[in-house]
Structure 1
Amino acid sequence: MSKVQKLVNIALAEFLGTASMLFLVCTGCTSGIQGTISSLHLSLCSGLSVMAAIQMFGHISGAHINPVVSLAALMVDEISYLEIPVYIVSQVLGCLAGCGLQKMVTPLQHEIQYPGRGICVNAPYETLTDWEALGVEIILTTILVLAVLATWDKRNGNNMDSVALRIGFLVGVLNLAAGSYTGASMNPVRSFGPAVWSNDFRSHWVYWVGPTIGSLIATITYKYSFLRVEVHTREYK
C-alpha cells in the first residue's frame, strides 16, 4: 500500500468513525423522541458508540475518533507527524457530518434540550464553575488516555482481545461517574460538532483545554515512567 493510499484510508476511517459516534450519541440523547433519558441510558449510548467505531475502523486507523488520543499516539510514536493533521481534520469533519445527519432526521421541536441548550451540547452542571468543570475533564481524560496507551503497550499484547468492548465500557463508566458534572466529553470533537450546529459555545473552551491537558498528563506519565521501565528492563536482560 502506498503512503498516499494509507493516508486516504486513515482519513476515511476517522471521518466515518467520528461521524458514526456523534450520530449515535446525539440521537441517543434527544429528549422527547427518546422519552425520559436516564444517566444509564446516556452512559451506555456514549460507551457503546465508541465501541462500535473501534470495531468498525480500529484495524484501519486505530479508530482514535478523538484529537487528544491522536496527540497521545503522536507522542508515543504510534503515528507520524505527517499523519497527525490527517487524523485531526478528518475527526473535525466527521463530527460535523455526524451531528448534521442527526439534525436532518430530528424534528425542530426537539432541537432545544433542558436547560435551554442545543441537542447533545456538553455543558458544566449549573452549580459548577468552568474551572471545576475543567478539572473534571482533565481527570476523566487522563484515565481514558492511560487506558488507550495501555492497549498500545506491547507488553499488553496477550490481553488485547475485545479491545473495542473494553474501551467502550470504560467510556461508559466514566460517563456514569461524571456525565452529570460536565457531560464527560473527554473529546474536543464530541463537544465541537453539537456546539457548531446549535450555535451554543457557552463554556466550550473547557472541552478543548481539559481533554488536551489530560492527554498530555497521561502520555507524559506513561511514556517517561512505564515505557522507560520497559526499555531499561530490556537493556539489563
Structure 2
Amino acid sequence: MPISRIAIGSTAEATHPSALKAALAEFICTLIFVFAGQGSGMAYSKLTGGGEATPAGLISASIAHAFALFVAVSVGANISGGHVNPAVTFGAFIGGNITLLRGLLYWVAQLLGSTVACLLLRFSTGGLPTGSFGLSGVSSVQAFVLEIVMTFGLVYTVYATAVDPKKGSLGTIAPIAIGFIVGANILVGGAFDGASMNPAVSFGPALVSWEWADHWVYWAGPLVGGGLAGLLYECFFISHSHEELPTTDY
C-alpha cells in the first residue's frame, strides 16, 4: 500500500544541493507557467476591453495554459520532475513518491514562483490588475467538487504518463498530455470558477491583488483531487513490488 511508503524525510535531504536545485527549477517553471497563463488573460482583457469572460476568452485561456504548462513541465522534468503544482506534489507524496520535507520545499518554490510572476506582470504592464480566481453562478461547495474532479483528472494523467514505472515510451508525451488535460479542463470549469487545479496559480494573483474570496476552494479542491488520484493509481495500477522512483522524478 502507498501509505506504507509515505515518509517525512530528513532535513539533510531537504537541504541537499540536489533538492535545492530541484526547488529552484520548480520556482522557475511555475514562474514561466503563471507569467504566460495569467499574462495571456491580462493581454486579452486589454485588447477586448474586459472581454476575457467570453467564449473566445475562454478558448484563449485554455490554449495559453496548455502551451505554457507543456513547456514548464518539459523544462523541469529532468531536474525536479516538473510538478509546477502543489496538488501534483501532494499527489506524489500520498503515493509515496516524494518525502514530506522535499514536498514542502517544492510548495514554497511554487508559491514564490507564482507570486513573482504576478508582480512582474503588474510592473511590466504598467500596473494592470492581475485579477484573481472567483466563482460565477456556482456555490463554493459546487466549485469545490469541480476542482476535485478536474484536479483528479490532471494528477491521474501525471501518474499514468510520468510516474508509472511501466509507462515506457509513453513518458515522452507526458508534458503535452498534462498540458492538454489542463487546457481541456479550463474549457469545462473556466466559466464557473476559473478552473485553477493548482493552488499556486490561485495564490499568486490572490496575494498580489489581495482578493481572498472563496480562496479555500482553490486549495482544498485540488489537494483532495490530487491526493485521491495519487492514492488510487498507486493502489490499483502500480505494482506494489516496484522500487521507489529516483528523486529527480515524481
Percent identity over paired residues: 31
Question: Tell me, what secondary structure is at the counterpart of 2:67?
Answer: helix
**Long gaps (5+) in structure 1:** 112-118
Question: Tell me, what secondary structure is at the counterpart of 2:104?
Answer: helix
Partner of residue 226 from structure 1, selected from 234, 237, 244: 237
Q: How does 1:180-195 map to 2 (within 5 A)?
A: 180-195=191-206
Distance 1:138 1:124, change over 3 A: same
* TM-score normalized with structure 2 length: 0.83
**Does structure 1 conserve the Cα–Cα contact (< 8 Å) formed by 2:158 and 2:174?**
no
**Does structure 2 conserve the Cα–Cα contact (< 8 Å) formed by 1:28 and 1:34?**
no
Find the aligned partners of 1:67 and 1:232 in 2 and give their Cα distance: 27
**Does structure 2 conserve the Cα–Cα contact (< 8 Å) formed by 1:10 and 1:86?**
no
2:106 aligned residue: 87
Structure 2 letter corresponding to 1:164: P
Partner of residue 214 from structure 1, selected from 192, 217, 225: 225
Question: Tell me, what secondary structure is at the counterpart of 1:154?
Answer: coil
1:172-218 deviation per Cα after TM superposition (whole angstroms, max 9, x unaligned): 11111221111110010100000000011111111011111111221
Structure 1 letter corresponding to 2:179: G
Structure 1 letter corresponding to 2:240: V
**Does structure 2 conserve the Cα–Cα contact (< 8 Å) formed by 1:47 and 1:172?**
yes
1:134 aligned residue: 144
Find the aligned partners of 1:8 and 1:105 in 2 and give their Cα distance: 29
Find the aligned partners of 2:241 and 2:110 in 1 and give their Cα distance: 36
Find the aligned partners of 1:33 and 1:72 in 2 and give their Cα distance: 36
1:106-137 deviation per Cα after TM superposition (whole angstroms, max 9, x unaligned): 233x42xxxxxxx3411111x21111111110
2:61 aligned residue: 42
Structure 2 letter corresponding to 1:189: A
**Long gaps (5+) in structure 2:** 1-11, 243-250
Number of residue-to-residue matches in the alignment: 221
Question: Tell me, what secondary structure is at the counterpart of 1:121?
Answer: coil
Following TM superposition, by how much is the alpha carbon of 1:232 offset from its aligned partner in structure 2, in angstroms? 7.8
1:1-58 deviation per Cα after TM superposition (whole angstroms, max 9, x unaligned): x962101211110010111111111110014434344211010111111111112111
1:7 aligned residue: 19
1:76 aligned residue: 95
Following TM superposition, by how much is the alpha carbon of 1:157 offset from its aligned partner in structure 2, in angstroms? 1.7
Find the aligned partners of 1:20 and 1:232 in 2 and give their Cα distance: 37
Following TM superposition, by how much is the alpha carbon of 1:75 offset from its aligned partner in structure 2, in angstroms? 2.2
Which has the higher mean CA deviation after the structures are superposed, 165-174 or 70-79?
70-79
Structure 2 letter corresponding to 1:103: R
**Does structure 1 conserve the Cα–Cα contact (< 8 Å) formed by 2:153 and 2:181?**
no
Structure 1 letter corresponding to 2:23: A
Q: CA RMSD in A?
A: 1.9
2:73 aligned residue: 54
Which has the higher mean CA deviation after the structures are superposed, 93-102 or 160-169?
160-169
1:114 aligned residue: none
Distance 1:204 1:210, change over 3 A: same
* TM-score normalized with structure 1 length: 0.87
1:16 aligned residue: 28
Find the aligned partners of 2:223 and 2:61 in 1 and give their Cα distance: 23
Structure 2 letter corresponding to 1:14: E
Distance 1:5 1:213, change over 3 A: same
